[in-house]
Structure 1
C-alpha cells in the first residue's frame, strides 16, 4: 500500500498558507500495531486557533466566497473531490497506519469519505437556495438560505477522513468557511485535504487546518467568532460543546455516542444472528459510534444464541493491519485498550457472564489488541449495557416478547442506531417505527451516508447527509418586498 506523503507536516494551514505554529507542541502518531511512533506533525496552540478563526472570519465577512453563486462553490468542491480521489491510496495508507485498520478494508473506508463530497455536490446542484412563496403580506416574498458563517469542524480518530468530509462538504457548498481540527491521533487525512484545497485554488481562509490536543481545541470552541461547531465524538465532550454553544446561542451539530440495540426476532436462526452480530462487533475492532453492542434475544433462545456467537468469535482472526487475512485489527490507542479492559472488569463485578474473550490475545504479542468479547445474562441496567465501551464487546440481553425487546432497546440515554434481525420486512418496519433511534436497518449495521444520519436523545443534535445535512450549515431568511424581482 502506498505510503502517505505530507509536504509540510511541521506546519499548519491558515489563510491559504503553510505556517509555523505559534504556541503548540508537535503531535506524535503511535502505531496501534507496533506501539512505536510512526509520524509527527505540528500541533496548534490557542494563538494558532485564534489566527485560523480570524482567517476564516475575514474570508467569510469579505463575502467573495459566501456571496458567490452556488454553482461556483460547487465547481470548487468538484475540483477538491477530484484531487482527493487521486490521493485515495495515500488516505487509505494513512488510516491503517494511524488507526491499525485492516488494509483490506481501508480503500472502502476512504471511498466513503470521498463519496461524501460527491453526494454534497449532487445535493447542492438540486437545492433551491432561494424560493418565492405566496404571501398575504408582500407581493415579493422570498425565502433565502444563507451560510451560517465560520464553522469549527472537530472530528474523532476512528474514521477521520469520512467524518471530516461529512462536515466540510456541505459547509463549503453552503458558503461557510471552515477550521478543521482533526483528532491528534489521526491528523494525516486532514493534511491531505488541506494540500488538495491549496492545489485546486480554494480561496485563502476558506479551509484551514489546526490539529491540536484538547486544551487548544477547547480554546477553539470558545472563540466568539466561530458561528457553528460541527462535532463528532463522545457524548461527554458533546455535552461540553452544547453548554458552550448554549451560553452564546451558537449553532452546533453533534454526532455523538451510542449503545445501539439489535433485536433478534424468532424467524431469524441462531446461526444467522451469530454471524451478523459477530462480524459487526469486530468491524473496526468495535470502535464505531453506531456499533450494535446490545443484542436483545428471546429468553428461550438466549443460551443457544450465546453458544453460537461464542463459536463465531473464536474463529475471528486477529492480526496487524497489513495482515490480509486478519478480520480484526488492534484498538486505536493504549488508552482505548485500557478503557475496554476496565469495562470488562466492571461487567464481571456486576454479575454478567463472560462467555468468551475478555483479554488481550497471546498473539500478536505487541500492539493494542483485544479479543472479541461476549457477555451473556446481561441486565440492561448494568454499566456495560448502558455506557459506550467503544470496543469489541457484545452484551446479550434476554427479553420476554417483542414489546419487551423494544422497551429494553429504548431504555438508554442513547438513540443513534439499531437493527432488527428478521426475514420479514413488514415486521422490521413495524419494530423500527417504535425504536427511538435515528437510523434503523434490517439485518445488521447498515448506513447510507447520502441520506440523513444522526441520533435521538444524547446521541446528538442535527443530521449529516442529504438535504438535511446541507441545511445544518444554512440560516433561513424571510424577505418581504413590495414587488417581485
Structure 2
C-alpha cells in the first residue's frame, strides 16, 4: 500500500466566527514532520488578538440570541451538515492527524471513524432531551427548562481532535452554546481540515471558531470574562491551573485529565490471547494516550514470562513513517515528549528500576522524533515512574502478591481515569472492577467507551463528556414557577 498524501488546507486564513478571516498579524508557524524533520507547511499563527476576535464573535451571537434561540432541530441541521462534510474529508482528516502528530495512519483512521460516530451519536441523543419538562413537586407544579450556558471554550488535546468534536464541541453547539475550539500546535493541519468542513456547513456568523495556537492563547481565553464555560482536556497540572483561573470568575469547568492505567494480568489467562490487546493498549499512539497501560501488574510467578513476551512483542513492532499504512508505531508528536520520556527513564533507573528494552532511537530514524518503547522492571509503585503520567512510550512492570494486592496497587495512584484486568474468572473480574476507583474499567482490555459518559476520578478530573450525561453538562437548568391558583397555599 502506498503512502497517503497530506492535503494542506488554507495557508493564509483563520476560521473565526464561522468565517475564514485574515489573521491579526503576519506571523506564521512552521509545521514540521515528526518523521523526517522536514518542513511540511507554513501556516498563519493565531495570536491573542485573533482569540479576542473569536470571543467577540461568540459573545455577539450570544447576546443577540441568534444561536441559542434557534429550535434544537435547526441547530441539529447545521451540525448534520458539518458531519457530512467531515465524512467527505475522512482521508484528509486521518492523514493530517498522522502526518503532524506521528499517529500511525491505521490508528488515525480508526480515531477519525470513532470521532464521527460520536458526532452522530450526539445528534441522536439531542433528539431525546426534554428542553422543557413539566413536573409535579412536593410544593407544586414547575417547568424545568434546559438552556444554553453561553460562549464555551473547548481546549482539545493533540491525540484526539476528531473525537473531541463528538464528545464536547457538537454537544455544546446542540445545546445552544457558541463554541471556540482551541487546538494545540500539534493540530495545525487537522484543525484546518476540521475548520474547512465547518465552513462548508455554513454555521451562522459568530457561532463557531476553530484554530490551533500556543499556550499563551489558551491562558488568555481561560481567563476571559465573556466565556461562560471551559471544557479542558490535557495534563493534570495544567488542568488544575485552568480550574483555578476559571474559579476566580465562577465559570463552568469540565476537566478530562491524565491517567496512570493499571493493567492487571491474572494468572489464569493465556498470554498468547492477552498480549496483542495488552501491547496495543500500551503502545497505541506511542503511549501518548491518557488511558495507556503504563503500569502492567503481574504476579511474581508469571513476571519473568510476561516480561520476555513483552520484549518480543515490542521488538516485533513495525516502526516508521506514520503515513505508511503498514506502520504500527510512529514518531512522537514533539521533541518535548521524547525529552520528557528520556528524563523519566533516567530517573527511574536511578531509583532502582531496570531498563529491559527500548528507550533509544531506532536505527535509520534519527531525523525524526522517534523513541523505541521502553520497558522497565524492578519498579515499585512508590517510584516516580509508577506515580506520574509520562504521556510517552515508557511502561513499568510491577509485581503483585495476589489479586487484593493488585487492587491496592492499582488504587495507589492520584489518578483515576481507566483500568483493566485480563482474567477468565467472572468473580475476579467483578471484584476488581468494583474495587478499582476509576471513571471507566474494562474487563479484557477493551478501549474505553467514549459514547458513554467519559471522565475520571481523583486527579483525573471531574465532570463528564460523551453520552447523555456529557450532553446535559453543556446546559443550565432554569425552573419556572407557574402562577399559583387562586386560594392555593404559598
Q: TM-score range by the shorter chain?
A: over 0.9
Displacement after TM superposition at 1:218 (Å) = 0.8
Offset from partner CA, 1:39-92 (integer Å, 9 cap, x none): 222222222211211110110121121021111111221111111111111101
Which residue of structure 1 aligns with residue 7 of structure 2? 4
* Contact 1:356/1:372 (8 A) holds in 2: yes
Offset from partner CA, 1:243-292 (integer Å, 9 cap, x none): 01111111111111111101112211344443332222221111101111
Report which stretch shifted further, 212-221 or 411-420: 212-221
Which residue of structure 2 aligns with residue 330 of structure 1? 331
Which residue of structure 2 aligns with residue 22 of structure 1? 24
Looking at structure 1, the residues matched to 258 and 26 of structure 2 have their Cα atoms a distance apart, in angstroms, of 29
Which residue of structure 2 aligns with residue 434 of structure 1? 435
Of 90, 93, 100 in structure 2, the residue corresponding to residue 88 of structure 1 is 90
- 1:61-100 aligned within 5 A: 61-100=63-102
Which residue of structure 2 aligns with residue 281 of structure 1? 282
Which residue of structure 1 aligns with residue 47 of structure 2? 45
Displacement after TM superposition at 1:24 (Å) = 7.5
Looking at structure 2, the residues matched to 124 and 445 of structure 1 have their Cα atoms a distance apart, in angstroms, of 27
- 1:286-305 aligned within 5 A: 286-305=287-306
* Contact 2:17/2:207 (8 A) holds in 1: yes
Looking at structure 2, the residues matched to 185 and 225 of structure 1 have their Cα atoms a distance apart, in angstroms, of 27
Which residue of structure 2 aligns with residue 176 of structure 1? 177
Q: Residue 346 in 1 paired to residue 343 in 2?
A: no
Q: List structure 1 segments (4+ residues) > 6 angstroms apart after TM superposition.
A: none
Looking at structure 2, the residues matched to 9 and 476 of structure 1 have their Cα atoms a distance apart, in angstroms, of 42
Which residue of structure 1 aligns with residue 160 of structure 2? 159
Task: Determine helix, strand or coil for the equivalent of 2:57.
Answer: helix
Which residue of structure 2 aligns with residue 146 of structure 1? 147
Looking at structure 2, the residues matched to 364 and 76 of structure 1 have their Cα atoms a distance apart, in angstroms, of 44
Displacement after TM superposition at 1:97 (Å) = 1.0
Displacement after TM superposition at 1:466 (Å) = 0.6
Looking at structure 2, the residues matched to 215 and 322 of structure 1 have their Cα atoms a distance apart, in angstroms, of 31
What's the C-alpha RMSD, in Å, of the aligned pairs?
Answer: 1.7
Structure 1: 5+ residue stretches without partners: none
Looking at structure 2, the residues matched to 17 and 420 of structure 1 have their Cα atoms a distance apart, in angstroms, of 47
Looking at structure 1, the residues matched to 426 and 205 of structure 2 have their Cα atoms a distance apart, in angstroms, of 50
Which residue of structure 2 aligns with residue 229 of structure 1? 230
Looking at structure 2, the residues matched to 34 and 304 of structure 1 have their Cα atoms a distance apart, in angstroms, of 37
* Contact 1:24/1:212 (8 A) holds in 2: no
Offset from partner CA, 1:455-485 (integer Å, 9 cap, x none): 111111111111011011101111111269x
Which residue of structure 2 aligns with residue 13 of structure 1? 15
Looking at structure 2, the residues matched to 370 and 452 of structure 1 have their Cα atoms a distance apart, in angstroms, of 33
Q: CA 1:145–1:270 in 2, change beyond 3 Å: closer, same or farther?
A: same
Q: How many residues align?
A: 482
Looking at structure 2, the residues matched to 145 and 283 of structure 1 have their Cα atoms a distance apart, in angstroms, of 39
Q: Residue 314 in 1 paired to residue 315 in 2?
A: yes
Offset from partner CA, 1:214-246 (integer Å, 9 cap, x none): 112211111100011111111111011010111
Which residue of structure 2 aligns with residue 365 of structure 1? 366
Q: Residue 123 in 1 paired to residue 116 in 2?
A: no
Looking at structure 2, the residues matched to 234 and 24 of structure 1 have their Cα atoms a distance apart, in angstroms, of 31
Looking at structure 1, the residues matched to 314 and 211 of structure 2 have their Cα atoms a distance apart, in angstroms, of 40
